[in-house]
Amino acid sequence: MNLPVQAPLPTDGWPTQTTTMQASTEADCTAFFLDLDEVDADQIAKLQAAGFLDADRRVCLLHERHESFLIRGLEYLPPGFQSMDASRPWFIYWILHALEVLGEDVGRFGAACLNTIKRCWSDALGGGFGGGILQMGHMATTYACCLALAIIGTPEAYDIVDRPALLDFFLRHKDPASGAFQAHDEGEVDVRITYCVISIASLFGILTPELTAGVIEFVAACQTYEGGFGPMPYQEAHGGYTFSGAAILSILNALDRVNLPALTHYVAHRQMAVEGGYQGRTNKLVDGCYSFWMGSVPALIASHTRGVYVSDRAAHQRYILLCCQQLEGGLRDKPGKARDHYHSCYVLSGLSLSQHGDGKTPVFVAGSPENRLEPTHPAYNICPDKVLLIQSYFADKAAGRRIEVVEEMD
């Protein structure tokens, strides 16, 4: 991990809050970018004893500690998380996915997770999955529930979803003017919510022409002058919305409908020159979660970038391994921030994508070879085998129904 440490970014000499915070963040991060040849033997021994370096002084991903932190989160959350009560499906998804990319068998958690998820379905309040029991259905928590079911990956999990009711829920929240989708009754309409609908519909075999009508045109209209995507037309480009737009277009095989050179330029310039991780918007600070939200885009567009994977993968992985790991387990935004389950999920997802790319580029693992994670799908952010499994399951069901109809006609 002895990569060159870049000099601080130049400024015009007129400090602002933005430039001051950027300089402080660069200093915090580069303090971790030590040349191990200059570190004394006692300190090296301490880092090896802590599991942070292996016998060959290569940086290690703390698999077991991260797994312990994540598994505890499935069983118990501290009182400080009470404000997250409406995000139960998110915690289940974040933790299950982080565990699956770490190579953990998540099947043993299936029964408990299914018991919670099936009680989040909101028939009495209009359909969809809510954030908890007797909470209104919302596209974002529906997305989290459905991804968690896909990760569990059993027919019992898949069949929790009433697909006709889910399709009806989606269609009732389609905005006729834009073709996009609404988060809930009287909720916001944007590209993020539209991604939740399109991704889940394509996994669960309900991606109908009525559902996709106008979606590509809406997403294309959200591309900004910078090249990324905003939540709505004429709004600022942002990492999460850029992922959402690019993932929708990838799922619908429509990436050629937008300005790909501009998108490539945008994502390349969101990787920070000094830190190596990604920022979410122009002139914002690096944040570990954008390791996925922005780090997924090079994988999504890889077939359109003439064989160039538009990311400095070594610098990206250095940021994650040195700046985002907490020695007690769990991953974080940046040095000075606390670990949490959200960042643990998306930092590990970003590390997986940086290692595996689009599945066609050569695997590149920085640090110890033991750092290698399971691959994650850049458009769905679950393991690719789980994507194939669920799509095959519902494709087979549809084929079976077609055969039954033909037999009845005969």
Please give the span between the terminal C-alpha atoms of the chain, in angstroms, as a whole number: 67
Contact 348, 63 (CB under 8 A): no
* CA distances (Å), origin 212, targets 21, 133, 247, 290, 352: 42, 30, 14, 27, 30
Q: Residue 77 gets which letter from DSSP?
A: -
Catalytic positions are 238, 281, 284, 287, 289-290, 333, 340, 343
DSSP labels, 312-347: -HHHHHHHIIIIIB-TTS-B-SSTTSPPBHHHHHHH
Radius of gyration (Cα) for the chain, nearest Å?
Answer: 22
Nearest in space to 345 (alpha carbons), one of 355, 335, 330: 330
Rounded distance between C-alpha atoms, residue 164 and residue 161, angstroms: 9
Rounded distance between C-alpha atoms, residue 393 and residue 382, angstroms: 16
